[in-house]
A and B are shown apart, each in its own frame.
Chain A
């Protein structure tokens, strides 16, 4: 049977789908245990809660601060990703994000303001990590930000819990950060649609995944409430939103890797971004503002990429679209009008 449950955490919806013959109660228990990862990581890593461990650590400059293993390893990963991408991803951009208007707690609507932190000139190089003691030292006043890592990490942890509980076939979708394990109820690899960033009603195409994660970063969903034309995606080096690429999807064995590098590659831009993904042995797809598509060299082969062209029907109802490629089989797409 197919079991499905939806949660809200980290300002997004988290849908867990499990394909299993186990008793519903057994599945329910494991799914809800897996869902806890999102709340635990949110409590530790939230930039929108002054009492989170991340924010408490942010307020301590110039001294080594011992942090919990979860915060330490998440930060370690973020700093390594920052070094790998020349700062295209940077866990010290918290204050910049606050000033761009991304500072409201999604539940209470109340803003956070870390006036103690510097805005300009802070980079991941001002954050020193000590593996042995699990300590972080902030060399300048800064606000840490793990928003490009935390959700992916939670997806991976939740997947691990489900797998340890004996489930082989499941999917976790945290607002588009997806981990797909095993097969769907039709005993096929999971089919994941990648939304067309230029027309959210359409898919750019589909990929087939099994035991892999896919994450998409795009700067079309969350515009800055205070800076026209800017979004939640920020090039930490220029202080601006990246322009040429509007969405980047990355497939990886871990959601945290896909999450971090989809953001980083989008910031790095088309050529450098694709190069970096290939260097990292990750498959990725970038879609530019003119609908130009850039793939890593093995993307189509590895994912059985299926480009979709749908008739753009303004009305509701059934739209029939012909799939590209071999077989040319007809596909039914159900649509609803707004």
Chain B
């Protein structure tokens, strides 16, 4: 492998080294408590300047422009990221490759983990896990993994949504 320049080395290590940096964890926790309790907490991004959106009843800010207000109000965040009860939930889904079971863990009202726990399909599990979009896949005893453009998670969505529905209840 070539040696990359010290500048890029430094930029990468600065970003990667932050997983458990205090500042980040505080932000995360505050954002989570804000989302679940409705309290507006001071987070780094919420400095004392006025926001360009309005504050809704959840304490979250939304864009204020009215031209596409329908969209503004139905952003994915509200349903997908907020209002979940902490705990673990199992979701089942059936898709074109078979049935899938996932386990979703919610912490502080946010998704903390989505794990595929079972794939009952007509194809080997490892194959489906690697290439949810490409069922006709490349599996060779000599190839450990495949890189290609990002596949989507369409085949797992119904199972994840099933679990999230339980978390809403």
Q: Which residues of A contact B (CB under 8 A)?
A: 4-9, 11-13, 15, 17, 32, 35-37, 39-40, 43-44, 48-53, 55-57, 59-61, 63-71, 73-74, 76-77, 80, 104-116, 134, 141, 151, 153, 156-157, 160-161, 171, 173, 175-178, 180, 184, 190-195, 197, 200-203, 206, 211-212, 214-222, 247, 249, 251-254, 256-257, 280-283, 298, 302, 331-338
Contacts and interface: CB of A to CB of B under 8 A. Distances in A.
B115 A5 contact: yes
Interface of B: 1-5, 7-9, 11-12, 14-19, 21, 23-24, 27-28, 31, 35, 43-47, 49, 51-53, 60-68, 71-72, 74-82, 102, 110-116, 123-124, 126-127, 129-130, 132-153, 156-157, 160-161, 164
Contacts of B14: 73, 76-77
A69 to B, nearest CB: 5
Contact of B148 (A221, A257, A302, A338): A221
A48 B61 CA distance: 14
B149 A217 contact: yes
Given A11-B152, A44-B27, A221-B149, A80 B139 contact: no
Given A39-B110, A280-B8, A298-B2, A193 B145 contact: yes
Interface of A is mostly: mixed
B148 to A, nearest CB: 3
Tell me which of A112, A211, A249 has the highest count of chain B C-beta atoms within 10 A of its own C-beta: A112
A156 B52 contact: no
Contacts of B147: 173, 176-178, 192-195, 214-216, 249
Nearest to A64: B47
A115 B68 contact: yes
A248 B100 CA distance: 32
Contacts of A202: 138
A50 to B, nearest CB: 4
A155 B18 CA distance: 13
Contact of A49 (B18, B77, B126, B152): B77
Nearest to A254: B12
Contacts of A211: 1
Nearest to A55: B77
A106 B153 contact: yes
A6 B114 CA distance: 9
Tell me which of B4, B67, B123 has the highest count of chain A C-beta atoms within 10 A of its own C-beta: B4
Contact of A51 (B31, B141, B152): B31
B148 A57 contact: no
A338 B130 CA distance: 15
B8 A257 contact: yes
Contacts of A116: 52-53, 63-65
A52 B45 CA distance: 10
Contact of B81 (A15, A43, A212, A247): A43
Contacts of A253: 1, 4, 9, 12
Given A105-B80, A280-B4, A333-B140, 15 more contacts: A17-B144, A35-B113, A40-B19, A40-B24, A44-B24, A50-B77, A55-B77, A69-B24, A116-B63, A151-B150, A176-B148, A218-B148, A256-B15, A332-B141, A334-B140
